[in-house]
Amino acid sequence: LAKTTQPISMDSYEGQEVNITCSHNNIATNDYITWYQQFPSQGPRFIIQGYKTKVTNEVASLFIPADRKSSTLSLPRVSLSDTAVYYCLVRKRGSTLGRLYFGRGTQLTVWP
Amino acid sequence: KAGVTQTPRYLIKTRGQQVTLSCSPISGHRSVSWYQQTPGQGLQFLFEYFSETQRNKGNFPGRFSGRQFSNSRSEMNVSTLELGDSALYLCASSLVTSGGNEQFFGPGTRLTVL
């Protein structure tokens, strides 16, 4: 199973763009890359998922290079409410999978 | 559409007791997974149920058990509670168990064991 590595913490200011990079050197051909956000005492919330190149939704963008050994979650113009823990996960597609492997995540703190 | 609901939200028990937590998935979702979250261990997978059958199980002792009903609602039970069982217990539901499908998490049940 591909293990992920991401920074323990990051700081930013309101209005800035934040990029959180995740390493997954052992990613397999049939693995997706998924990011979740979690606020204190709440369940994680799905942000974005991708397989290769770039994926964008109303919340974030996900950049995945050709070798797929890393990925970068990009949050445009963060606000105080984006302060949360962000988890990078690698999950297999096309198989029975209700099981998500969460690492330690990245604590993002946004300052005024 | 209503989200995943978990009851109760908070629970205080003493060592040796048992506890049952409940999870109602999003309407139409048939897969329910349970996770334990603690500051020391992070988010850890407990088990997954689909169509009333346990499909996946994490590395937890037999004191932790679960079940799923025909309406997809799920319960998890912890017997002979230990102090280390104090945690946030999260339930997540998804449409199917195939990879690539988003899991939706509930708000969790905060269990405190005294």
Question: Is A100 close to B97, i.e. CB distance below 8 A?
Answer: no
In the block, which residue shows the tokens 């346990």? B54
DSSP single-letter state for residue B98 = B
What distance, in Å, lies between the first and last C-alpha atoms of chain A? 39
- Give every residue of chain A whose pLDDT is below 70, as ranges: 1-2, 93-98
Of A32, A43, A44, the CB nearest to B100: A32
The alpha carbon dihedral of B97, B102, B104, B105 has a sign of: positive
Please give the average pLDDT of every successive group of 10 residues along chain B, which has 114 residues.
91 97 94 91 89 90 96 97 96 71 88 97
Q: Which pLDDT score, from 0 to 100, does residue A2 have?
A: 61
d(CA B56, CA A18): 35
Residue A11: its H or E element: strand A9-13
Q: Which residues of B touch A41 (CB under 8 A)?
A: 88, 107-108, 110
Smallest CA-to-CA distance from B34 within B13, B14, B60, B16 is with B60
Q: Which residues of A touch B48 (CB under 8 A)?
A: 98-99
Contact B51, A98 (CB under 8 A): no
Question: Which residues, in sequence order, are bridge partners of residue B89?
Answer: B36, B109
Residue of A nearest to B32 (CA): A98
Q: Which pLDDT score, from 0 to 100, does residue B8 have?
A: 97
